Amino acid sequence: MSNLWQHQVKFQFKKNLFILCILFTGILLSSIVSSYQIGISPPETYFFGQTGEERCQNIMLFSSGKAVKAEIFTLWKRDLGSSKVIKDYTLSEEEKGVLLKYPKNVLVREQENITLCIKPLFEGDYEGVLILSPENGAMGVGSWIKFQSRMYNGEEKILSYPSLLHKSVRGEKSNTSFFLLFLIESTFIEGAAVVILSLFMRSRLHGSQ
């Protein structure tokens, strides 16, 4: 009886140990499968352009371990500052007044390149973050965005035209003055030559008489 009881105890112990091994192995394998890394480069992206002008830059996405389905979206900061705390970025691109072009969903296999294009509707400085968020709920990564949008000042070129016109008119005036002076001098020289020649001819006539 005691031998039978001991045999049952050993069998139950081995069974429980086997179940624990299976559970432990499953947990270990699941953690290994889900232990991949995703990344985005560059960590900060800078844009500068005129208001209403589209600017584009290349962004590199990468993953290690397996292909990752991910969503891409942006968040924007209401006020400017040096903060890089994600909770300070609460506005959507529509609320911020920015037109963006980029793929909203991607499948990242080791390395993928995407193009991010930005077209600001208003003049000012923009601060945002481009977020790559895996669909399985794992923690996402982001790239900070800074954009300086400046209104095109057409008056600068318009104001340059009068200055060029002034230079042109001034040049024409100087050329005209030079021409008049040359004409006066030529007339004076010709007149003096005529007077001298007439006096010379008179003196010759008087001498011959």
pLDDT in tens, 33-57: 345 678 899 999 898 888 888 999 9
Query: Of 150, 171, 202, which one is at a domain's C-terminal end?
Result: 150
Instruction: Measure the CA–CA gap between 50 and 56, rounded to whole angstroms.
Output: 13
Query: Of 127, 150, 173, which one is at a domain's C-terminal end?
Result: 150
Query: Does some domain include residue 142?
Result: yes
Q: How confident is the model at residue 22 (pLDDT cuts 50, 70, 90)?
A: very low
Q: Mind listing the pLDDT tens digit for each residue in 83-123?
A: 788 888 999 988 988 899 999 999 998 889 999 999 988 88
Calculate the alpha carbon distances from 142 to 50, 70, 103 in Å: 25, 12, 15
Query: Do 91 and 110 fall within a single domain?
Result: yes
Number of domains observed in the structure of the chain: 2
Question: How many angstroms separate the first and last alpha carbons of the chain?
Answer: 182
Query: Do 144 and 82 fall within a single domain?
Result: yes
Q: Which residues contact 61 (CB under 8 A, 6 or more apart)?
A: 38, 39, 40, 70, 106, 108, 111, 112, 113, 114, 132
Query: Does some domain include residue 87?
Result: yes
Which range of residues forms the domain containing residue 84? 37-150
The reply to whether omega before 43 is within 30° of 0 (cis) is no
Instruction: Measure the CA–CA gap between 108 and 136, rounded to whole angstroms.
Output: 13
Nearest alpha carbon to residue 106 among 62, 143, 76, 137: 62
Write out the H or E segment, with its range, that includes residue 121.
none
